[in-house]
Amino acid sequence: MAARYDEFIANKLVSMPPDGIENAVINTAQMFPFQRDLTQWALRRGRCAIFADTGLGKMRMELFWAARVWSYTGKPVLILAPLAVAAQIKREAELIGVDAVVCRDGKDVQDSVNVTNYERLHRFDSTRFGGVVLDESSCIKHFESKTLSVLLDAFGGTPFKLCASATPAPNDYTELGTHSEFLGICRRQEMLSEFFCHDGGETQTWRLKGHARPAFWRWVASWGALVRLPSDLGYEDADYLLPPLAVEKHTTRSVAPKGYLFPVEAATLAEQRAVRKASLGDRVAACAALVNADNDPHWVIWCDLNTESKALTESIHGAIEITGSMDLDEKERRLLLFGEGKVRALVSKASICGHGLNWQHCARMAFVGVTHSYESYYQAIRRCWRFGQRRPVQIHIFASESEGAVVANLERKGEDAKKMADELSTETRDMVRAEVCGSSRESNEYAPTKVIMLPGWLTTQTQSMEPVH
């Protein structure tokens, strides 16, 4: 007889059994129950990803996971983090009693939990470590990136691997594929071939096959826990409700093009870049006037052009800037100064310090111009608007009249992302809870009572196809 369709899917599904630490119980009052469940699940899996939203305590989970792996393997564990985040991890380790050391190169490695920045990985012998943690692992989302290639080569044989990042974009399947490849679950291309098809004539666009959707998310949930709130695992959200977020748009005047009575929205990328440069002075002046007149002690100002960064730093009282051309140590020093509250205003780009940093001491932020990248915009906001923030957060966006299309596109992407994230959470919540907590989904049992009669021609054909013995 032909195999049932659900059995066929199950047989094709590449599912890796847990190969971590059995009965890895963590008893500590320094973790919330949902954090403890996720950490114990990650230890059982051995190689997995925790996709928990910003501020849910991934850093603490990483440290307890790394400490247990170090104890189990007898080999040091390495945590890789974005620039200046290593110092935050060190402080967190001291709070919870985990032995961790910040390393600048291989000579600093100790028989414990070791923390360094991605930029310094080339200074280490990766074969020394029994486990590796990728903090803010979204850095490997692009399958053609140099970072992913280096990490695949460095930790291909490492037995314990943990990726930790905020919930991946619901429509960014490539990010899931690169995580799966790094963890050794299956290659990105194999994942795409198994569950996806090309969307129309666009060979770079992949669409999840409709019939494969449940199987795909069941497979993802077996190695990746997508958690937006503690309630996803059955716990209360009271301690993780964010304060209000207010977004205010400031529009500067644009000059009407020759032959027009009114300003025209820039349509092409070239036009958008041109109007952005033309409006630079007005946008910088408007932002500086607001920040200088405000009594709030801390501000973050995001920009995308070097000329914007320089002009903002010169115009805002007490501001320092961080640029891509700066020495690595100087970037880190300035990030730490702002993180410790010793600097009033920080001016930089989201591509430089928009990931991993915890700035709950700051509740004021400005974007002097916007781009089409909703991910960069979202990650930048979440540096301040995250769990642990006690004040309402104010976001100010400065753009010219001619950049209206860019602002509208960013708002549309935000609405789409929220809708898709809600749908994804609903679709995977029960699967993740079953994997992490061992619970099962409640459903009505199907008990068929009526016999299905097959037509004669199908019965005859089925009989004729039976093998002759």
Tell me which of 166 and 295 has the higher pLDDT. Answer: 295
Per-residue pLDDT, 180: 92
Per-residue pLDDT, 464: 46
Tell me which of 363 and 204 has the higher pLDDT. Answer: 363
For residue range 426-439, list pLDDT tens digits in order: 777 888 888 888 74
Q: How wide is the angle at C-alpha 28 spanned by C-alphas 26 and 32, nearest 5°?
A: 95
Kindly state whether residue 416 falls inside one of the protein's structural domains: no
Per-residue pLDDT, 469: 45
Average per-residue pLDDT in the chain? 85
Per-residue pLDDT, 28: 82
Of 199, 216, 236, which closes a domain?
Answer: 236
Q: Which of 66, 362, 74, 46 is CA-nearest to residue 183?
A: 46
Per-residue pLDDT, 144: 72
What is the CATH number for 138?
3.40.50.10810
Q: Which of 3-7, 40-44, 295-299, 378-382 has the lowest mean pLDDT?
A: 3-7
21 in the same domain as 158: yes
What does the block give as tokens for 178? 């690169």
Kindly state whether residue 246 falls inside one of the protein's structural domains: yes
Per-residue pLDDT, 379: 86
What is the CATH number for 369?
3.40.50.300
Query: Sorting pLDDT into bands at 50, 70 and 90, what band is 15?
Result: low
Indicate yes or no: pTM above 0.85. no
Per-residue pLDDT, 200: 59
Per-residue pLDDT, 243: 92
For the range 425-429, what are the long-range contacts, defined as Cβ-Cβ under 8 Å and sequence gap of 24 or more? 425/226, 425/228, 425/232, 427/213, 427/217, 428/217, 428/220, 428/221, 428/226, 429/232
396 in the same domain as 266: yes
Domain that holds residue 323: 242-407
330 in the same domain as 199: no
Sorted by sequence, the CB contacts under 8 Å of residue 371 that are 6+ apart come out as 304, 377, 406, 410
Q: Which of 59-73, 83-97, 197-211, 346-360 has the lowest mean pLDDT?
A: 197-211
